[in-house]
Structure 1
Amino acid sequence: MCLGCSFASDMDEFCLCGLSMSILSVYRTKCNIRGSMCGDFMAVTFCPFCATCQLRRDIDRRKEQGIF
């Protein structure tokens, strides 16, 4: 839950409930990543740990490249 809120903070968004479908959707939109809200829902519902690790890794990589 805390890691989800750190994602929201990284994206200058308000966090209310940790990692959620809306955080993934906002991230995809801001970074111009293809996908769907249905896919975001499925990832957060059925693979929340994988979705969390993937998002953290992607944010860190973009920060290193200076594009986040």
Structure 2
Amino acid sequence: MAVTNQPGRYEPSDFQTGLCDFCDDCGTCCYGLCCYPCLGCSIASDMDEFCLCGLSMSIRSVYRTRYNIGGSLCKDFMAVMCCPFCATCQLKRDIDRRKEQGTF
């Protein structure tokens, strides 16, 4: 029998919420509005990275790669540069949902 998937890999997917789905988690949205750098540090902490990395394009790319989420470096760059607040909140919502599902 041929192995078609690597062990521990996730099937290709997408982020569990859209880029502008603020109402899906108002708490995260309010947290980001009140202290955007703190939200970035929270993401970095979740990902076991240095605090300043939480607001960067690279953390989004690492997360997408880890969970096999579709996209590209160009799309990550555009999301983070055009709407950094939206991209950061989306990432935090996805992390929180994966924690709830036990897949983080």
TM-score normalized by the length of structure 1: 0.89
Tell me which of the two structures has the higher relative contact order, counting C-alpha pairs closer than 8 angstroms and 6 or more residues apart: 2
What's the CA shift for 1:17? 4.9
Rg larger for: 2
Within the alignment, does 1:29 sit opposite 2:65 as a pair? yes
Deviation digits for residues 10-60 of structure 1, max 9, x if unmatched? 011223254110010011011111111111111110011111111111111
Q: Aligned match of 1:38 in 66, 70, 74?
A: 74
2:98 maps to 62
Greater helix fraction, Structure 1 or Structure 2 = 1
TM-score normalized by the length of structure 2: 0.60
Aligned residues: 68
Bigger shift: residues 34-43 or 13-22 = 13-22
Q: Aligned match of 2:48 in 7, 12, 30?
A: 12
Gaps of 5+ in 2: 1-36
Kept after mapping to 1: 8 A contact 2:44/2:53: no
